[in-house]
Structure 1
């Protein structure tokens, strides 16, 4: 009986209609994912007046969503590697859609906070499974580019939230923006069609007919008959996928990845929160200070796409380390007086080398670990990173309260970029998973 290596079938496939459908579906999920997260900012002024809540309460309610995301990324990442990515991804979408929708019916801040937290858990479970699924089925030469395109959908979700808030709130009130969230449930049939569990899991569980079906879609140049026997060079490691993060010489890489994610998201969230204020304090007009945020996000989109192409060509690590160093340099230079053209250029580079590099780092993690623990790895890296993201705005607030110079403020935000670069430089690339395994394991 002829043998077919499932990994080679996927890696050698060409970008086709299946990948386009998977990409489009992933982008829509991420757009709704980001929309549900950021729409809160649009209704804050109204909620403060309607419910008579203080700025401290507003901040606490916002934090509940981020804590939910952290827990959801870790929990659903682990569950996906145990029970399958598609079901967990659908559950995540259902959670964030329904509970964001229910926010419109919250009678007060307590129930609103509870709904926000549960919606955050669902939001946290989305990214690890979307990225893992893309990596499972993307052609080898397009792993990073496909992830890059999907990560740009985060910015689109933020833009969509802003436009919907501007149009719907004056027309139908603040509750109307939360009604939009339920539309994400319409994506479920599309998710059932284009999302599948990893090829290794399908083979391990004996779901060979489903495996044959999806592989024929992924690589339509290969004829897969019932007489063929599927094999893989991926070995299921004993124990839990969480423990496996620290086995087979992965401990150093796992710890360094977590440090890099923590530092980078601290830097990104801190800069995103405080950039307009810092520029205004440095003597720039408020209007131009706010425009820096637009340039920052444009830089993130352009940078993500460019870095994705470079990562596919040269390798992710070779791109990430210099990008984090460039982010630190550009942030440091922002602390000095420059003309507006140079300032906008520095802000653009900052967006490309912080948000853009962070987006690519998710792709790195998805390829660094074996498929049967991929969602767990991304979930934990994302969860640890969320902690840095939560600390980032507070870190900026402490800096501002110390009345430091503008140069010292930006230098302080630049230092995490250096730490992230150093951490990623210590991540070893030669692991047991990446070495060629001579013995093929027949799981079926």
Structure 2
């Protein structure tokens, strides 16, 4: 081990040397949490038909259940996640995972609409907070060269969880009922809370923002564990002067233009994405196909998203990140706009796989873009507000979708309506120019 020496740029403290087991563990646990969250959030769409029949919930009220879940994610990202810039990524992550696990388990016990709406709101709050913090934590434990790819890997866990969830739900739903889905997910999530408590360390870059002797001691302990040189002091980057993490900081002249562009991109992407995630199985059933076909349609969409997410993250190292996101969004919008025509010549599941590849790939890419846009001092706040305001669109999408389905709009017409936000999102993301 070399003598202690001050670092020149703390953001790049992990750029030299091989990936350590600690870094790999952080990415792995983050990935597993994302898989669970993907299943947690889309679980309601898989069982929507049975829940609607058993609890006698109308399509409009079922749309409200989808919307309050996403409203919770919005508020969790905007109001709860930013506290991680003050108390730490690890503490906020543990609290969020516990809230998700408890609310998921209790959802299996509901007998009334209001109980379902309340518990899904709590789940949304926990997931919204967790997504922002897990993105920041992964970004801060990954070398700069692989940052976009590592965030893409963990973010791909979300559609992967939805994909695995659909495969699991198909055989167990007729035999064990919809309640077992929530009981199982609740227990698995609570187990992961214990895993996070035991194995996930605090972010090095967050500890640097604390600037205390104890924080320096913790950083050096982690650096030695990761086979890096310890440091003698925290070096302040004179180019970044941020006194307090808040939304006002995001709207300061330093960040304002790109922040607004990022918010609008997330908003329009989420309108279309969460319409699909919430209503696709129901639309498939309305077209006269089976319940199994409806679940496998969601599997195809999310399966395409897993592949698209990983490929976009990999290629982003050589091409402009937001340029790729813009291309993905443009083509996915055109595919949805011409869905009715394409459906006549292509297999439904193949077409949905392609749309998922493009749309969910672009969505995951936005996580990487938001993590790279902001410095450590406001990273969780920046990601949280981007996700939060984006999820305002995620509240609108499923609710409008519910109204359109109630009024008898066909699947093809629904797809054409929700293609428009993707075209608008592509316009804004091309202007971000984040590599």
Tell me the TM-score normalised to structure 2 length: 0.86
Question: Quick check: 1:388 aligned with 2:393?
Answer: yes
Pick from 221, 225, 234: which aligns with 1:230? 234
Q: Check conservation: 1:200, 1:232, Cα contact below 8 A.
A: no
Deviation at 1:214, TM superposition (A): 2.1
**Matched residue count:** 425
Partner of 2:221: 213
Counterpart CA distance in 1 for 2:426 and 2:319 is 17
Secondary structure at the residue paired with 1:10?
coil
Q: Which stretch of the first structure deviates more once superposed, 241-250 or 176-185?
A: 176-185
Q: How does 1:175-190 map to 2 (within 5 A)?
A: 175-180=179-184, 181-190=186-195
Q: How does 1:238-387 map to 2 (within 5 A)?
A: 238-273=243-278, 292-337=297-342, 340-341=345-346, 346-387=351-392
Q: Check conservation: 2:245, 2:381, Cα contact below 8 A.
A: no
Pick from 184, 199, 223: which aligns with 2:205? 199
Map Cα deviations across residues 404-432 of structure 1 (whole Å, 9 max, x no partner): 898765443322122111111233659xx
**Shift in alpha-carbon separation, 1:53–1:402, aligned structure 2, 3 A:** closer
Q: Which stretch of the first structure deviates more once superposed, 264-273 or 42-51?
A: 42-51
Q: How does 1:432-443 map to 2 (within 5 A)?
A: none
Deviation at 1:102, TM superposition (A): 2.0
Give the gaps of 5 or more residues in structure 1.
431-444
**Shift in alpha-carbon separation, 1:418–1:172, aligned structure 2, 3 A:** closer
RMSD over aligned CA atoms reads: 3.2
Deviation at 1:278, TM superposition (A): 7.1
**Shift in alpha-carbon separation, 1:272–1:215, aligned structure 2, 3 A:** same
Counterpart CA distance in 2 for 1:127 and 1:253 is 21
Q: Check conservation: 1:100, 1:178, Cα contact below 8 A.
A: yes
Secondary structure at the residue paired with 2:19?
coil
Secondary structure at the residue paired with 2:234?
strand
Partner of 2:133: 129
Secondary structure at the residue paired with 1:314?
coil
Q: Check conservation: 1:263, 1:420, Cα contact below 8 A.
A: yes
Pick from 412, 421, 427: which aligns with 2:432? 427
Counterpart CA distance in 1 for 2:134 and 2:341 is 40
Q: Check conservation: 2:262, 2:432, Cα contact below 8 A.
A: yes
**Shift in alpha-carbon separation, 1:400–1:175, aligned structure 2, 3 A:** closer
Deviation at 1:62, TM superposition (A): 3.2
Question: Quick check: 1:147 aligned with 2:155?
Answer: no
Q: Check conservation: 1:101, 1:179, Cα contact below 8 A.
A: yes
Deviation at 1:300, TM superposition (A): 1.1
Partner of 2:82: 78
**Shift in alpha-carbon separation, 1:389–1:203, aligned structure 2, 3 A:** closer
Higher Cα Rg, which structure: 1
Q: Which stretch of the first structure deviates more once superposed, 271-280 or 333-342?
A: 271-280
**Shift in alpha-carbon separation, 1:365–1:108, aligned structure 2, 3 A:** same
Counterpart CA distance in 1 for 2:352 and 2:175 is 35
Q: Check conservation: 2:55, 2:111, Cα contact below 8 A.
A: no
Partner of 1:24: 28
Q: Which stretch of the first structure deviates more once superposed, 54-63 or 369-378?
A: 54-63
**Shift in alpha-carbon separation, 1:377–1:173, aligned structure 2, 3 A:** same
Counterpart CA distance in 1 for 2:167 and 2:342 is 33
**Shift in alpha-carbon separation, 1:81–1:352, aligned structure 2, 3 A:** same
Q: Which stretch of the first structure deviates more once superposed, 44-53 or 236-245?
A: 44-53
Counterpart CA distance in 2 for 1:188 and 1:405 is 42
Partner of 1:441: none
Map Cα deviations across residues 8-42 of structure 1 (whole Å, 9 max, x no partner): 32233433322221121112211222222233344
Deviation at 1:67, TM superposition (A): 1.5
Q: How does 1:26-41 map to 2 (within 5 A)?
A: 26-41=30-45
**Shift in alpha-carbon separation, 1:29–1:290, aligned structure 2, 3 A:** closer
Counterpart CA distance in 2 for 1:3 and 1:133 is 23
Secondary structure at the residue paired with 1:231?
coil
Counterpart CA distance in 2 for 1:41 and 1:276 is 7
**Shift in alpha-carbon separation, 1:51–1:392, aligned structure 2, 3 A:** closer
Secondary structure at the residue paired with 2:268?
helix
Tell me the TM-score normalised to structure 1 length: 0.84
